[in-house]
Amino acid sequence: MSKFIRNTTSKYKFGAHVSTAGGVSNSVTNAFNIGCNSFALFLKSPRKWVSPQYTQDEIDKFKELCVKHNYNPLTDILPHGQYFINLANPEVEKAEKSYDSLIDDLKRAEQLGIGLYNLHPGSSLKGDHTVQLKQLADYLNKAIKETKFVKIVLENMAGTGNLVGSDLHDLRTVIDMIEDQSRIGVCIDTCHTFAAGYDISNKESFDEFWKMFDDVVGYKYLSSIHLNDSKAPLGANRDLHEKIGEGFLGLEVFRLIAHNENLRGIPVVLETPQDDDTGYGHEIDTLEWLETIDDENNKELVAKNIKLQSQGEKVRKEQAVKFKVKQARATKSPKKRTLVKDEVKSANSITSQLTKKRRTTKK
């Protein structure tokens, strides 16, 4: 028996990215066992271009378990696309390969009855950013036509330069070019937001960010949240997830999330670095507890924040030093900044940040 019980009174769908080891249907049980009210998964190996198709038996099992554990696949499950998919790639051959993998993923989602699909928007690399955004939108339009109902949810990014979606305006530009806008949405990742330079670490700036988000993109398109604290400081452009409360965001940001009415009813999914899924169970408990704390000066909250901040202190200090060195270097040689290969990789690799168990996932 699991020690985590699903919260039926929470107004939020807190959940986590869970393992599919042993078969995609296992994700449903894994999510249930840690008390998820929504969850994320990989539909196939995040490291390989091609994976075997699902058997009808596996599809049936997935759907049965969703009924049994009361998950609505249309609204509660948000699969994550492979991080090497780059529809904005100016090299045609690579973009085409990405498109094939995307279509395969979208069809898998629809086979399982899943209504949402999370995608990193990619990078324009050495191409013209505006031209590549158009290419990305063209591929998305084509993918929407080739599938029936799944909504493609573009995630905001932490990086800089040619990475699509670090600037929220990129997401707006792409949405504007989508023909069927009922099939496109946006996922906001708290770590990426902060690392991209949008301060959300206190009440005032948090509210400002969401106001700006509504102006630029619009709540109408907000389809999910990724919940991660950040190991790196504001504007560091590093995609380094931290456990909630231990990073530069701190627990208060997650309390604010758990009080933002606009985030109700959509998957709010943890992708924090945990040794195993039990860690997510505890974090979900924490989030559901934060929902009940109305006062930012609540004694228990303050005490918990101090504890978590001290646990993450060493890593924050290391990253703060790295950021300073990088900034100093940047002012010495102020040449135009382009994204180096390593950064594309780190910006896109979420598997390296999830639990160890998930890293070995075969399906």
What track of x and - describes contact with Zn ion for positions 261 through 300 (by CB under 5 A)? ----------------------------------------
Catalytic residue among 76, 167, 170, 189: 189
For 286, what's the count of Cα atoms within 13 Å in the CB-facing half-sphere? 25
239 binds Zn ion (CB under 5 A): yes
358 binds Zn ion (CB under 5 A): no
The minimum distance between CB 210 and Zn ion, in angstroms, equals: 18
Active site residue 69: no
Among the candidate windows 233-241, 310-318, 330-338, 355-363, which touches Zn ion by CB under 5 A?
233-241
83, 79, 82: which is closest to 116 by C-alpha? 79
Catalytic residue among 12, 54, 83, 117: 83
Gap between the Cα atoms of 242 and 2, Å rounded: 25
Q: Which of 6, 61, 226, 255: binder of Zn ion (CB under 5 A)?
A: 226
Q: Where are the alpha helices (DSSP H) in the chain?
A: 26-33, 56-68, 92-111, 129-146, 168-176, 190-195, 203-216, 251-257, 277-290, 299-311, 313-332, 341-348, 356-359
* # residues contacting Zn ion (CB under 5 A): 3
Active site residue 226: yes
- Share of the chain residues as helix, strand and coil, in percent rounded to the nearest 5: 45, 10, 45
The minimum distance between CB 259 and Zn ion, in angstroms, equals: 21
Active site residue 169: no
For residue 48, give the DSSP letter: -
The minimum distance between CB 68 and Zn ion, in angstroms, equals: 28
For the segment 167-196, give every residue that binds Zn ion (CB under 5 A): 189
Active site residue 239: yes
Gap between the Cα atoms of 36 and 15, Å rounded: 4
The minimum distance between CB 333 and Zn ion, in angstroms, equals: 28
Q: Are 62 and 26 in contact (CB under 8 A)?
A: no
**Which residues belong to the active site?**
47, 80, 83, 120, 155, 189, 192, 226, 239, 241, 271
Question: Which residues of this protein are in contact with Zn ion, per CB under 5 A?
Answer: 189, 226, 239
